[in-house]
């Protein structure tokens, strides 16, 4: 899978803010001015205190979504490489999220991670190949798949 960019901020949530409120992006308290300035200079943030909502908005059309982890001592945000939707069906997205851009994967490495059978998975991979999303290498039992 593509790598994530990870941001970890030491400390817990500001007093009076629940994890649910924090992740909704509706309430925010600026805690790390240096990090906020980096995002501001990169053009990711126009107004301080809107980070979570902006991150979610930026990834709205992406196949891979950011992951937020709130623990007692840190708040961690994993930002995946942005990938456009490419008009994939919901089932195709499930298969896509298992594939890699750098490593060929066989059907036996894909099938255990999806909720449907090998024949449907094979058909989805074929459809994704027609859409130009997946590249197929090999034949028969040696067939492997990779994201283009």
Last residue of a domain, one of 59, 80, 101: 80
Residues 50 and 95 in one domain: no
Q: Are residues 54 and 107 in the same domain?
A: no
> Is pLDDT at 54 greater than 80 in this prediction?
no
More confident residue, 123 or 13: 123
3-22 pLDDT, tens digit each: 567 777 677 777 777 888 87
Both 109 and 70 in one domain: the answer is: no
Per-residue pLDDT at 109: 94
Say if residue 97 is in the same domain as residue 71: no
The pLDDT confidence band at residue 2, using thresholds 50, 70 and 90, is: very low
The encoded tokens of residue 72 equal 């007692």
CATH of the domain at 20: 3.30.565.60
pTM > 0.75: no
Q: Which CATH number goes with the domain that contains 102? A: 1.10.10.10
9 and 51 part of one domain: yes
Query: Which residues are CB-neighbours of 123 under 8 A, at least 6 positions away?
Result: none
CA dist., res. 14 & res. 144, Å (int): 48
pLDDT at 50 (0 to 100): 62
Higher pLDDT, 135 or 100: 135
User: Is 57 in the same domain as 15?
Assistant: yes
Is 116 among the domain residues?
A: yes
Over range 124-142, report the average pLDDT: 92
The counts of H helices and E strands in the chain are: 6, 6
Tally of domains in the chain:
2
Is 103 inside a domain boundary?
yes
Range of the domain at 125: 90-147
CA–CA gap between residue 120 and residue 46 (Å, rounded) = 45
Three-class secondary structure of residue 114 per DSSP: coil
**For a pLDDT cut of 90, what percent of the chain falls above it?**
27
Any residues with CB less than 8 A from the CB of 14 and at least 6 apart, and which?
29, 31
User: What pLDDT does 1 receive?
Assistant: 42
Query: What pLDDT score was predicted for residue 33?
Result: 76
Q: 82-100 pLDDT, tens per residue? A: 667 678 899 998 999 889 8
Beta bridge partners of 79: 5
For residues 51 and 102, state if they share a domain: no
């Amino acid at each position: 899978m593509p790598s994530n960019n990870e941001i970890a901020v030491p400390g817990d949530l500001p007093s009076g803010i629940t994890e649910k409120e924090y992740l909704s992006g509706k309430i925010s308290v600026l805690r790390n001015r240096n990090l906020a300035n980096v995002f501001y200079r990169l053009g990711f943030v126009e107004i301080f205190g809107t980070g979570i909502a902006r991150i979610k908005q930026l990834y709205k059309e992406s196949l891979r979504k950011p992951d937020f982890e709130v623990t007692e001592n840190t708040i961690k945000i994993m930002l995946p490489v942005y990938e456009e939707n490419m008009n994939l069906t919901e089932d195709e997205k499930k298969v896509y999220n298992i594939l890699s851009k750098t490593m060929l994967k066989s059907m036996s490495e894909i099938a255990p991670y999806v909720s449907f059978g090998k024949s449907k998975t094979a058909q989805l991979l074929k459809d994704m190949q027609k859409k130009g999303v997946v590249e197929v290498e090999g034949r028969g039992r040696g067939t492997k798949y990779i994201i283009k």
